[in-house]
Structure 1
């Protein structure tokens, strides 16, 4: 799965580098080479975003609503306050470079914390980890992983968190954690297993039953000598 993420941040094609941003965040796209530029043109698809040359001041077009900054020294294009509509292929061209630089920008929604829930069926505890359905876009880029001190959690990152199962004989005081991540961020949620069996006092019930039983035996034992003594009198 390491290769999975490497492929995501690598080349989509031989000419387009994939980049990721988060809605509301910023991203800087940098050309593959830096020279003393005399001309810079950035495009989103076929439309110009901004351009500059030694005979022209920086001209920014309304395509991104003025949310861009062009660094004339490095050629970097910074986009501020990203929106989902910013997703596209961006290209930087310059007469000072042999090749253009292309980027395929994917804008991700803010990643919510995963939701943990559990059910008790036939004395087996099933624990599930899910990313809220409100996170709709690019769910295919999510990876999940369990962390806990049980063999059930031994594994690697997967596209979907497997359902864990435990028995009441396991140490229910222990905690399980579910981690989720996308190429830009990660979140975690945790749960103590004992919360999956609320009101289960089976171990304590044995103790409560035992105490009255011992009391009865003790009372009978005390009564017998007293009874014998009364007969002797």
Structure 2
């Protein structure tokens, strides 16, 4: 692995560490844009070189060969098909034409993709209440699309839709998005109405069990009384 040797310079500016998040399988670019004309660019991960440009050509090291790209004009490093092993502390050091050396430090955390969202709905007063949930450790962007009203964009997983604005046949699609990853799930508002009329699935199951128990108890009593009458 290539180790970084200090570069002599007349002055050095160190920018504090910034936390970044990427998703497995995405292409990830570090948010840098060097405004000064660089003469030398070096990227390291956990103090090991991953990419270096010295004014002629770019050299890539270790697992970054064939899966990364260094923009020589602005210093931006892009990693293709991000993997869990790409997590770590990255440092960009560049030397400007004024012989000033600057450092930018980033901590990259790689997250698994969000799960497929689950949608549910119920009725509250004069509105349908739509809920969308997904398993992911960071805040998600939510977009609701209904086939009868304009697109609704929310950053929360729950929306209220007035009954007068939609029909029972309306279908709602929830889109979740983080970075470049987007997933969706669909639900029909008829499910809300069926729950309103017949209660929730759990309530209907519980009521069914109670009814079955009562029927069995009545049948047992009838059999007992019948046998008692015969024996007497």
| Alignment TM class, shorter chain as reference | 0.5 to 0.7
Give, in angstroms, the shift of residue 185 of structure 1.
3.9
Residue 90 (1) aligns with residue 68 (2):
no
Instruction: State which structure, 1 or 2, has the greater radius of gyration over its C-alpha atoms.
Output: 1
CA offsets 1:99-148 (integer angstroms, 9 cap, x no match): 2123333434344542224589xxxx9864332x5xxxx52332446566
Residue 52 (1) aligns with residue 53 (2):
yes
What secondary structure is seen at the aligned counterpart in 2 of 1:85? helix
Correspondence for 1:26: 27
Equivalent residue for 1:194, pick from 190, 197, 217: 190
Classify 1:59/1:108 alpha carbon distance in 2 versus 1 (closer, same or farther; 3 Å).
same
| C-alpha distance in structure 2 between counterparts of 1:130 and 1:192, whole Å | 16
Question: Structure 1, unaligned stretches of length 5 or more?
Answer: 1-13, 203-233
Q: TM-score, normalised by structure 2?
A: 0.54
Greater share of residues in strand: 2
| C-alpha distance in structure 2 between counterparts of 1:155 and 1:80, whole Å | 30
Give, in angstroms, the shift of residue 180 of structure 1.
2.3
- Aligned CA-pair RMSD: 4.3
Correspondence for 2:70: 70
What secondary structure is seen at the aligned counterpart in 2 of 1:99? strand
Give, in angstroms, the shift of residue 36 of structure 1.
3.6
Correspondence for 2:108: 105
What secondary structure is seen at the aligned counterpart in 1 of 2:138? helix
- 8 A Cα contact 2:140 2:155, kept in partner: no
1:115-194 to 2 correspondence within 5 Å?
115-117=118-120, 128-131=131-134, 133=135, 138-144=136-142, 156-158=154-156, 161-162=157-158, 171-194=167-190
Q: TM-score, normalised by structure 1?
A: 0.53
